[in-house]
């Protein structure tokens, strides 16, 4: 039986003080609405419906890979109005699960528990008890402890305001009855809106069994209305990631100072220092050490590699037993074979660095194929760009490149060659040759230094 899942994402979110739709703001590097869609899509036999309104084109574009049915709510008049817009697209049987694009951390297990309670004559509410329920709709029960209604904060009387069990807004209703309830909704309330919660009283009057389920933690059902709340949920998310990493055998020198903005997988006995950021998909082997303030994005790092402070790695592959940094930058397309070394203030791009080769400091290596056992001296650059086109430099095994060398691509330095320091190399250097390309030195006697005027 197909389950319809409707995700409400039409609101402007004016308290965010942003030019962007609220649901496009990110938790852990992913837009909130995408987090909800991702969780919903993992449930079996589901059809996704996304309610959009404010900046709906941008929301739709950001979520197009989920292939959700897009429903427009250009003039939002409450949650009930949103679901009424989706009603024609809902299946005749089954049930509809209502979720929210600004409640990003709802867990799959919680939703599966709700689905397990669903029957053609059952409405499932997700509720939670709060010490301070201010602002939430209260769950009203009868003498038999059965749910009979939900009363919103502004419509509640003094006795109802004392109730601590509150509505999270997430509910699962049988479609055969839901469509009639939605048609019967009115906006006779303090807000002048169509409340989805009004269907609870209708369900009770119709003899429908109303049951409740509960999340494992409050943060699962916490919504985001402003950037303060967004920041609080970001910390919840990051703490979850830190806890998982440590349980899987990684050491975080300060779990409160790590940011995972994607998916990070670590082998055993990795050590990660403070203020490191991981974006996209990052995989670390065993015994990897990462110093403070490093940024890794879409990369793989082999066993026993050491990454020193302030190093950046993006769209690159790093082998085992490598040594990087501090202050190194590996740009997209870099591949380091085992035991390679990239030192301080070295930048690489589309560079394949061979086994045990070293680029120790103050160098740029781009569009380069480098063999094994190469030593690149300080200040060396591959001149790979003529202002229009990129060209490749090829360096064979066991080459020694002296400091302050410019390799003007396209150029090849063959196995065992040596480049003298300060050379500009513009043509092929043969195997085991010594190459030097310097302007003739001239010394002038009696030269007076400039003086300050």
Q: What does the domain layout of the chain look like in residue ranges?
A: 3-221, 227-435
User: Which pLDDT value is given to residue 189?
Assistant: 79
Provide the pLDDT for residue 273: 98
Q: Which of 25, 49, 361, 432 is catalytic?
A: 361
For 318-353, the DSSP string reads E-TT-EE-SS-EE-TT-EE-TT-EEEET-EEEEEEE
- Count CB atoms within 10 A of the CB of residue 348: 28
Give the number of other Cβ atoms within 10 Å of residue 444's Cβ: 5
Average the pLDDT over 382-402 and give the result: 96
Has 373 been labeled as part of a binding site?
Answer: no
Q: Is 102 annotated as a binding residue?
A: yes
Chain segment 326-360, per-residue pLDDT in tens = 999 999 999 999 999 999 999 999 999 999 999 99
Please report, to the nearest 10 degrees, the dihedral formed by the alpha carbons of residues 248, 250, 255, 260 taken in order.
Answer: -80
CATH topology of domain 227-435: UDP N-Acetylglucosamine Acyltransferase; domain 1 (2.160.10)
As a whole number of angstroms, the distance between CA 334 and CA 60 comes to 34
302 has which bridge partners?
A: none
- Is 100 known to sit in a ligand binding site? yes
Using the Cα atoms of residue 216, residue 218, residue 223 and residue 227 in order, give the sign of their dihedral: negative
Domains 3-221 and 227-435 share a fold: no
Which range among 27-36, 68-77, 231-240, 424-433 shows the weakest confidence by mean pLDDT? 68-77
Q: Is 392 annotated as a binding residue?
A: no
CA 445 to mean position of chain CA atoms: 64
pLDDT at 438 over 80: yes
Q: Is 361 a residue of the active site?
A: yes
Gap between the Cα atoms of 119 and 122, Å rounded: 5
In this prediction, residue 75 carries a pLDDT of 84
The answer on whether 378 is annotated among ligand-binding residues is yes
| pLDDT number for residue 449 | 79
Res. 95 pLDDT band, cuts 50 70 90 = very high
Q: Which of the 8 DSSP states describes residue 27?
A: E
Q: What is the mean pLDDT of the chain?
A: 95
In the predicted structure, residue 442 carries a pLDDT above the cut 90: no
pLDDT class for 188, splitting at 50, 70, 90? confident
For range 140-167, the mean pLDDT:
92
Q: Is 11 annotated as a binding residue?
A: yes
Annotated binding residue 22: yes
Residue 130 binned pLDDT confidence (cut-offs 50, 70, 90): very high
Q: Of 24, 9, 2, which is closest to residue 70 (Cα–Cα)?
A: 9
* Share above pLDDT 70 across residues of the chain, in percent, rounded to a whole number: 100
CB 349 within 8 A of CB 366: yes
Residues forming a β-bridge with 406: 381, 424
Confidence at 1, pLDDT banded by 50, 70, 90? low
167 is in an annotated binding site: yes
pLDDT band at 323 (very low <50, low <70, confident <90, very high): very high
pLDDT tens-digit series, residues 274-293: 999 999 999 999 999 999 99
Which residues lie across from 264 on neighbouring strands?
Answer: 282
Query: Residue 439 has what DSSP assignment?
Result: P
Contacts of 209 (CB under 8 A, 6+ apart): 119, 121, 122, 123
Question: Which tokens go with 19?
Answer: 């030019």
Residue 398 has pLDDT above 90, yes or no: yes
Does 403 appear as a known binding residue? yes
Q: Are strands 323-324 and 271-272 parallel, antiparallel or unpaired?
A: unpaired
Q: Which of 198, 200, 240, 195 is nearest to 220 (CA)?
A: 240
Does 10 carry a binding-site annotation? yes
Q: What is the CATH number of domain 3-221?
A: 3.90.550.10
Angle between helices 175-184 and 79-86 (to 10 degrees): 130
Phi then psi for residue 115, to 5 deg, are -60, -35
Residue 194 marked ligand-binding: no
Report yes or no on whether pTM surpasses 0.75: yes
User: Which stretches of 215-316 are DSSP H helices?
Assistant: 227-247
């Amino acid at each position: 039986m197909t389950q319809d899942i409707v995700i409400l994402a039409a609101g402007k979110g004016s308290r965010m003080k942003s030019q962007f739709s609220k649901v496009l703001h990110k938790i852990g590097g992913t837009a909130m609405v995408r987090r909800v869609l991702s969780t919903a899509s993992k449930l079996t036999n589901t059809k996704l419906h996304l309610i959009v309104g404010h900046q709906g084109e941008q929301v739709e574009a950001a979520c197009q890979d989920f292939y959700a049915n897009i429903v427009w709510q250009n003039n939002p008049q409450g949650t009930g109005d949103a679901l009424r817009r989706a009603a024609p697209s809902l299946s005749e049987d089954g049930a509809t699960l209502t979720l929210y694009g600004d409640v990003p951390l709802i867990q799959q297990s919680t939703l599966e528990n709700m689905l397990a309670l669903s029957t053609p004559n059952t409405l499932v509410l997700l509720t939670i008890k709060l010490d301070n329920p201010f602002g939430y709709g209260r769950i009203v029960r009868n003498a038999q402890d059965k749910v009979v209604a939900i009363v919103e904060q502004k419509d509640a009387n003094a006795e109802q305001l004392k109730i601590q069990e509150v509505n999270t807004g997430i509910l699962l209703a049988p479609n055969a009855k839901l469509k009639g309830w939605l048609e019967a909704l009115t906006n006779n309330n303090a807000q002048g809106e169509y409340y989805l919660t009004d269907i609870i009283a209708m369900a009770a009057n119709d003899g429908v069994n109303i049951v409740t389920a509960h999340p494992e933690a409050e943060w699962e059902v916490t919504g985001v209305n402003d950037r303060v709340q967004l920041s609080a949920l970001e910390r919840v998310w990051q703490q979850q990631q830190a806890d998982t990493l440590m349980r899987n055998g990684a050491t975080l020198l300060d779990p409160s100072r790590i940011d995972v903005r994607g998916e990070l997988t670590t082998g055993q006995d990795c050590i990660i220092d403070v203020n490191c950021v991981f974006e996209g998909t990052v995989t670390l082997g065993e015994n990897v050490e990462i110093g403070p303030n490093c940024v890794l994005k879409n990369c793989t790092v082999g066993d026993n590699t050491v990454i020193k402070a302030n190093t950046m790695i993006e769209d690159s592959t790093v082998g085992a037993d490598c040594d990087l940094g501090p202050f190194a930058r590996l740009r997209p397309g870099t591949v380091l074979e085992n035991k390679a070394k990239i030192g301080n203030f070295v930048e690489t791009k589309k560079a394949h660095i061979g086994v045990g080769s070293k680029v120790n400091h103050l160098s740029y290596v781009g569009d380069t194929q480098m063999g094994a056992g190469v030593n690149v001296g300080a200040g060396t650059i591959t001149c790979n760009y003529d202002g229009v086109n990129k060209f490749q430099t090829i360096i064979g095994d066991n080459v020694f490149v002296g400091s302050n060398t410019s390799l003007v691509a396209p150029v090849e330095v063959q196995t065992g060659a040596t480049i003298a320091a300060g050379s500009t190399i513009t043509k092929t250097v043969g195997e085991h040759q010594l190459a030097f390309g310097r302007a003739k030195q001239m010394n002038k006697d009696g030269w007076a230094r400039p003086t300050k005027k």
